[in-house]
Amino acid sequence: SIASNSYIMDGNGGRKVASDNLELIEANGIGIANLMTDYFKKHSPVSPPALDGRTYHERSSKVFGTAAADIDGSCRDHTCAYGVLLCEEMLRQGQKAGHATEIALYHAGALLASVPQGNVTFESLLQVHRFGYLISFFRLRGTYVRMLLEDMLADHGAPGRGNAASWLQVAGLRFQASWNGSWALGRVQVQIDTEWKDLDTTEMLTREYSVAGSSNVRFSRKVVNKNCVPLEDDGPGALITMSKFFESSSPVQPPPDDQRECLTGNCTWLQESRDFSWRPQAATNMLIACTLMLFNVFL
């Protein structure tokens, strides 16, 4: 028998395991404000409780590893170093779990601080991950991946002024966008094995991609929630994932900027990517040409 707030009971924040499996006893219980008002009336003066080991917060000084330099966590306008490290680790965890993960997406609104140079403790990681989001794994067609990026750009605002929580940090994916009063999304590529391929968005032949996303991306983005095929909704927590990463990979260096989110027309990878890969328009044109040839043969 459990007492909980309505946020958990309703399955918010990716906690569907609670909402889908509970047997409700009382839905409209006591308001938290009234509960605590009565408590202070009955028990004042109130002293802070003794620490009894029930939460990770009591282990805040535990050192998981070290940061060789400051790792930037200001992620709402552009690619940030911490967002890259997190998404790359999400890719690895998804592949390790057998999901064949190809793309990782994490919303910037859940990254709330940078990691300073030196020892990385539970407290320093908790400053970044105060909301405690889980990682979800799902499959999503390329058309909807592109729509998600277009929605993100529409929320962003002018270059250098982005402050939207919806801005995504990414791995396994790179894109180019340009600003002319509004954002226009250009080329989008996904890394398949070791090769970069254009995102498949053809209407008839579009493929599904295996994605790791924060629970906010999975449940709060309509284009994802309505169109994805779930693989694992309640995956590992982002905080625990990164604590294990620092334990195994320290000292951790900030990653170099690889222009995976290129907001100018001067993308190094865009100039280098001249090899033929799967291009939706090319595929469409080929299909039309073949249809016309067959039509002419039968005539």
297 pLDDT band, cuts 50/70/90, is very low
At a CB cut-off of 8 Å and minimum separation 6, what does 277 contact?
189, 195, 196, 197, 198
Over pLDDT 90: what percentage of the chain?
A: 63
56 pLDDT band, cuts 50/70/90, is low
Q: Does the pLDDT of residue 47 top 50, yes or no? A: yes
So what's the pLDDT on residue 278? 37
The three-class DSSP label of residue 185 is: strand
Q: Is the full-model pTM beyond 0.85?
A: no
The three-class DSSP label of residue 275 is: coil
Q: What is the mean pLDDT of residues 270-297?
A: 49
So what's the pLDDT on residue 298? 46
Answer yes or no: are the C-beta atoms of 189 and 174 closer than 8 Å: yes
65 pLDDT band, cuts 50/70/90, is very high
Q: Does the pLDDT of residue 29 top 70, yes or no? A: yes
Answer yes or no: are the C-beta atoms of 167 and 156 closer than 8 Å: yes
Least confident of 9-23, 123-137, 215-229, 247-261: 9-23
Amino acid making up residue 5 = N
